[in-house]
Amino acid sequence: MALTRRDLRRAGTGLGAAVASIALLAGCGDDADEPQTSSGGDAAELSGEIIWSDFGGPTNEARQEIYFAPFADDTGVEVTSVVVNDAMQESMMSGEPGDYDATHVGLDLVYANMDNVIQIPAEFQDEALPDDIRAYAFGTFFVGHAQGYLTSTFPDGGPQTWADFWDVGTYPGKRAWPGTPGSYDSSCEIALLADGVAPEELYPLDFDRCSAKLDELRPEMVFYTSYPEIQQLLVSGTAAIAVGPSGQFAALRNAGEDVTVSWNQAVVAPNVIAIPKEAPNPDNILALTEVFHDPELQAEFAARTNYGPGNPEAYEFIPEDVQDNLVNAPSHTEVVYQDSKARSEVTEDLLNWYTTWLAG
């Protein structure tokens, strides 16, 4: 059973046994049948640090308070957070040595590099992930690539579907849209859905059709180069509607703004944490996977960030009003899930396509 925050703060926590079992159970992709070995030991024997790489901001702040702090209190292992360096991440996910013990990635990148990451013990795997990838990532949270707007912008009701997002006649105003090559997110899926493609027919992605649909809306787009700009563009009135990660709309709501998010056809993108096989501190980071799997802590993280949990048991601890703001909540049956495996097969093509389209 996963530990609660109360358990973590108690002396003599069960992390010791977890560390010992982790050392025996976890293996690298190429050697999945020959488990990786390490020194093991109990929580008191853990020492040193964890180098954690993500994208900073409110999500990292939530991790610091909800996961890292109790883990450090219990084990003495400090978690040092750094902002992801793309070159370092790419190198380590390709199997090269580097500084990171853990790195925040999309699930498609894990599919593309399964041989180069350390596996997670079965009892700490996030059950919301597909069976074939569950052992290769942890810390799962579900982002909704959705459309949001200030409720006052459309007092009589705003856009619901992606076809509505394209309808500047009925819903006038500029559209905030990702403007850097690496932030293509679900742009192609969104364009195809707006063009009438059924969710079950999205893959393989038709890049030419995506480009043609995006071209229709380009004159009405305002491009942002960082996610926090979404909030600025909406509050300033520069954009009437924005597409972006659902957490940005949550941040606006937390700042006191009345925001409406349409979950109809929101694209659900699983974000995860991968442990590169060359992680400098494998015992430490593997011990932390137990903390991240705790359903109560995942529920707290979801309430703080409005990102959906990877452990379905977390919903037992999430109030209904909070669930309403989580893209993978059981009640959100109209959302569309990314096919991360299909996307992993065209990762370079996706980047090249969006880079070319932006330049056009």
How confident is the model over 99-153, as pLDDT tens digits? 999 999 999 999 999 999 999 999 999 999 999 999 999 999 999 999 999 999 9
- CB hemisphere CA count around 189 (13 angstroms): 25
What pLDDT score does 160 carry?
Answer: 96
Lowest mean pLDDT among 6-20, 213-227, 302-316: 6-20
- pTM for the predicted model, two decimal places: 0.81
Reported confidence tier of residue 298, pLDDT bands at 50, 70, 90: very high
Q: Examine the pLDDT at 5 and tell me if it is beyond 80.
A: no
CA atoms within 13 A on the CB side of 237: 3
Residues 6 or more apart in contact with residue 332 via CB below 8 angstroms: 263, 266, 326
In CATH, what is the architecture of 5-142+271-321?
A: 3-Layer(aba) Sandwich (3.40)
**How far apart are the C-alpha atoms of 27 and 277, rounded to whole Å?**
9
Same CATH fold, 144-269+331-359 and 5-142+271-321? yes
What would the mean pLDDT of 175-192 be, rounded to a whole number?
94
2-6, 215-219, 226-230, 249-253: range with lowest mean pLDDT: 2-6
Q: What is the pLDDT, as a whole number, of residue 30?
A: 44
Share of the chain above pLDDT 70, in %: 88
Q: Give the Cα separation of 339 and 204 in Å (integer).
A: 9
Q: What is the pLDDT of residue 2?
A: 38
> What CATH number has the domain spanning 144-269+331-359?
3.40.190.10
User: Mean pLDDT throughout 224-237?
Assistant: 94
Q: Is the pLDDT of residue 271 over 80?
A: yes
Task: Flag whether pLDDT at 3 surpasses 60.
Answer: no
Number of Cβ within a 10 Å radius of residue 348: 9
What's the average model confidence in pLDDT over 226-247?
94
In which residue are the tokens 């989580």 written?
326
In the chain, what percentage of residues exceed pLDDT 90?
79
CA–CA distance, 204 with 201 (Å, rounded to integer): 8
Domain regions of the chain by residue span: 5-142+271-321, 144-269+331-359
pLDDT at residue 42 above 70?
Answer: no
Residue 211 in this model has a pLDDT that exceeds 80: yes
Packing angle between helix 347-359 and helix 187-194, nearest 10 degrees?
70
45-49, 167-171, 240-244, 285-289: least confidently modelled range: 45-49
Q: What is the mean pLDDT of the chain?
A: 89
Q: 3-state SS of the chain?
A: CCCCHHHHHCCCCCHHHHHHHHHHHCCEHHHCCCCCCCCCCCHHHCCCEEEEEECCHHHHHHHHHHHHHHHHHHHCCEEEEEECCHHHHHHHHCCCCCCCCEEEEEHHHHHHCHHHEECCCHHHCCCCCCCCCHHHCEEEEEEEEEEEEEHHHCCCCCCCCHHHHHCCCCCCCCEEEECCHHHCCCHHHHHHHHCCCCHHHCCCCCHHHHHHHHHHHHHHEEEECCCHHHHHHHHHCCCCEEEEEHHHHHHHHHCCCCEEEEEEEEEEEEEEEECECCCCCHHHHHHHHHHHHCHHHHHHHHHHHCCEECCHHHHHHCCHHHHCCCCCCCCCCCCEECCHHHHHCCHHHHHHHHHHHHHC
